[in-house]
Chains A and B, each alone.
Chain A
Amino acid sequence: MLYREAGQFKTSYQADQAIFPILQDRWFVVTFLLAALAVVPLLINDYFANAVFLPFLIYALAAIGLNILTGYCGQLSLGTGAFMAVGAYASYKMMTAFPDLSIIVVFVLSGVITAAVGMLFGLPSLRIKGFYLAVATLAAQFFIIWLFYKVPWFFNYNATGQISAPPREVFGILVTGPRAEPAATYIFTLVFVAVFAYFAKNLVRGRAGRSWMAIRDMDIAAELIGIRPLTTKLLAFGISSFYVGMAGALMFAVWLGAAESGETFGIDQSFLVLFMIIIGGLGSILGSFLGAAFMVLMPILLKQSMVDGLGLAAVTAKHIEIILMGCLIIFFLIVEPHGFARLWQIAKEKLRLWPFPH
């Protein structure tokens, strides 16, 4: 009844190609964004910023990055953690070497540097596929993390190899460092993620995205119709790493404030982001958000409800949380192997008919 496109006529190619062709969707997205921009900052405190919203947004950005590579282009990567580390260390080096450089430029440049590194490690993808490529990217994961431990230049020769983010401002408002207001860090990250998610959404609908999907579905056929695997795959690696690198930089500078290559960006991060896109939905931008939300928010929700709600001991709650997370992942994958994005799609189709299904 409410969600029905009857009467919405598309009279131009532009209208036909809109990101959200249905009016209700457009309204929903706009209200959602407005609420996120205007209402949430009024209510936010340190806990919600640092434990809920920042991790969710930053992981969503990383998941979009990996989804471009794995979900759209079909190249399995286990190097996400390392590429996040590249972004984080690049931003650290730039923040300390050029204190006057705008933080927005720093983050974008961190993404660009990561893109270059990602393309370098993407070269093997021209020869090897599937699990073999996963192993090659795994090598990148270990090599890059090792490099950041080994070469003291990356952490400015300090005693412990920890990098910590100096305070930086955007339009006179602190967004990094301990004194940054939670609302400021939240809005900054939200705008960053929203802008680049919009960019990604358009990218995957365009020529680049279609050639990625062609390569994913059958690379020989794609080659036959004139898609060059070299440029297409490397572009996917580059764009994907660009996103992942920016996520790493945001994670280090805005969210955590300090980081250490192996501890913060270890192999478990690679798996975590991979789980996010698998559970959220491969080849879906929305899926990246839903997957990140599930993997970040669910443990906190479980923990909060068990420790503060039911009064369980912290350790018992932790054990139950680990068990429940595993069960929930299996449950959702059995119910819908294509992830939350597909569930959402089904729900939408049902809604179009509701309440008169026949």
Chain B
Amino acid sequence: MTFKRLTQGLVAAAVLAAPVMASAAELTIPSMVYRTGPYAPNGIPFANGYADYFTLLNERDGGIEGAKINLIECETAYNTKQGVECYENVKNAGGGALVVQPLSTGITYQLIPKAAVDKIPIFSMGYGRTSAANGRIFPWVFNFPATYWSQATAFIQYIGDQEGGMDKLKGKKVALVYHNSAYGKEPIRTLESLSEKLGYELMLLPVDHPGQEQKATWLQVRRERPDWVLMWGWGVMNQVAIKEAASIRYPMDHFIGVWWSGSENDVLPAGEAADGYLSGAFHAPGDGFPAHDAIKHYVYDAGKGAGERDRIGEVLYNRGLVAAMWTSEAIRNAMQIHKTKNLNGTMVRDGFEALKVDETRLTELGLPGFTYPIEITCENHEGPGKVALQRWDAKAKTWSVVSKFYDPLRDTTGPLIEEDSEAYAKENNITPRNCS
């Protein structure tokens, strides 16, 4: 009987589905990845970088301060419903997850209220809810080293520099091509507020998920000829936008993507035409750092690499790497603060809140000059918020950082963060904690 066998199989599967238990003093870190779906081209390198760094720590140092890391991957396909399932599945794995990196703004929004209840810190590195930078209202969420709002102000400052001064922005036209979702909408308020101050005209051009069809958007760009185009895109939307921009001959050096729109995957399909395209960045590209050599030696030579060897050092790979680096430093910090290796989410949260990674430490980690020093405090979960711009060289097929690291315009973002987080606190009956 087919059905009988099927039922037996299902029962067996259900029995096997009991959660996996891990041994003591192991550090359980879930990794919510998307290696499938329309965002997979961007999700894969990030996930590989994240996994490889932890594998390196396990292989070379025997974990963090001797405690092995147990990285559990869970596939979300960048879908919030699957993300929630993943989170519920992994949060109690191995005695409790220590930190969650949701890797999607939508999933981050779902998890922010849960984190405080489950006592698991969320590290939404450079994505998620910007106003979570206010540590008084969001004690469990960390979005350093910079937020979308800081990044928007950095782009406007760069544009000001190129135009010859912030006062020259008056009368200019800036277009924002954005993924029509919570993520893509993040910078709008900041850009609007800056446009009131500086007098440029802001054009909003939403692109619907997944962003494969953008003809109409770019026709509008061609007709209106904005002086600058900013893009908040992700996944397949990025490469389509860059190709479309190339096809209407929009000058690439006036086209700036968010740091999620600036990886090799996004520019390579457009070929030569993508030359000079700019994007935000908070860490260096390339695989020329001692840590990369260590990963090749300890991880890939041992056959334990998560991805392909020749893709080490891609922008998003390095992004995963830097996320893993800060995460592991926060865990190390938590061990020092609480003087134990048996950590829980609350302790790791303390580790994050007192995190300080300076240049000396970066050099020790084999990443000298890879990113800028950060320092997290109780009030400020965003950290320094600095953003630089990197440019794509289509001939050499490399990214290089071409600007200084811009400090965010805190007098613009500060009140906005305050306002948005206060609104959240009011809607959800949260009393801001006292940080002093």
Contacts and interface: CB of A to CB of B under 8 A. Distances in A.
A258 B113 contact: yes
B89 A260 contact: no
Interface in B397-430: 416, 420, 423, 427-429
Given A305-B16, A308-B20, A149 B110 contact: no
A90 B182 CA distance: 19
A39 B206 CA distance: 49
Q: Number of contact residues on B: which range applies? A: 35 or more
Contacts of A232: none
A338 interface: no
B181 A308 contact: no
A46 B36 CA distance: 26
Nearest to A298: B10
Interface stretch (B52-60, B78-86, B318-326): B78-86
A337 interface: no
A304 B16 contact: yes
Contacts of A149: 180, 206
Interface string B84-101: 110011011000000000
A160 B13 contact: no
A317 B35 CA distance: 11
A229 interface: no
Contacts of A302: 13
Interface stretch (B184-192, B247-255, B289-297, B366-374): B184-192
B16 A309 contact: yes
Contacts, number: 126
A41 interface: no
Classify the secondary structure of A's interface with B.
helix
Nearest to A301: B13
B110 A258 contact: yes
A158 interface: yes
A159 B186 contact: yes
Contacts of B348: none
Given A263-B209, A301-B10, A305-B17, A96 B81 contact: no
A177 B84 contact: no
Given A55-B81, A256-B81, A160 B75 contact: no
Contacts of A51: 84-85, 88-89
B112 to A, nearest CB: 8
B1 interface: no
Given A258-B109, A317-B75, A159 B428 contact: no
B91 to A, nearest CB: 7
A315 B79 CA distance: 14
Given A149-B206, A167-B428, A301-B10, A315 B16 contact: no
Contacts of A322: 36
A40 to B, nearest CB: 15
A162 B428 CA distance: 14
Interface of A: 46-47, 50-51, 55, 96, 149, 158-162, 164, 166-167, 177-179, 256-258, 260, 262-264, 266, 300-302, 304-305, 308-310, 313-315, 317-319, 322
Per CB-CB distance, the 9 closest pairs between chain A and chain B, nearest first, are A309-B16, A305-B13, A304-B17, A178-B113, A315-B35, A160-B182, A51-B85, A47-B88, A314-B73
Given A46-B88, A46-B118, 10 more contacts: A149-B180, A160-B129, A162-B182, A178-B113, A263-B80, A300-B85, A305-B13, A309-B13, A314-B73, A318-B75
